[in-house]
């Protein structure tokens, strides 16, 4: 066992209630539609979700 925490991506720390919902999200990249494990959101704004391949797309929402 490692003591290293699971890391989603640099600077991405979903709130606990959002982490529980993560499996319900789909990548927003046009034509992708894969499971989105990476969420991007600014306070009081809509959330945007992307898969591993397209997670860089979400940075424009930050």
| List 8, 9, 22, 32, residue binding Zn ion (CB under 5 A) | 32
Torsion sign over Cα 60, 49, 13, 16: positive
| List 37, 39, 51, 55, residue binding Zn ion (CB under 5 A) | 51
49 binds Zn ion per the rule CB under 5 A? no
Size of the site for Zn ion (CB under 5 A): 6
What is residue 12's DSSP assignment?
B
54 binds Zn ion per the rule CB under 5 A? yes
What is residue 53's DSSP assignment?
T
Residues 6+ apart with CB under 8 A from 14: 8, 22, 39
Q: Point out which residues bind Zn ion (CB under 5 A).
A: 27, 29, 32, 34, 51, 54
């Amino acid at each position: 066992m490692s003591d290293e925490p699971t890391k989603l991506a640099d600077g991405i720390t979903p709130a606990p209630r959002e982490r529980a919902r993560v499996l319900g999200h789909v990548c927003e990249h046009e034509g992708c539609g894969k499971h989105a494990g990476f969420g991007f959101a600014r306070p009081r704004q809509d959330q945007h979700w992307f898969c591993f391949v397209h997670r860089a797309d979400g940075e424009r929402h930050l």
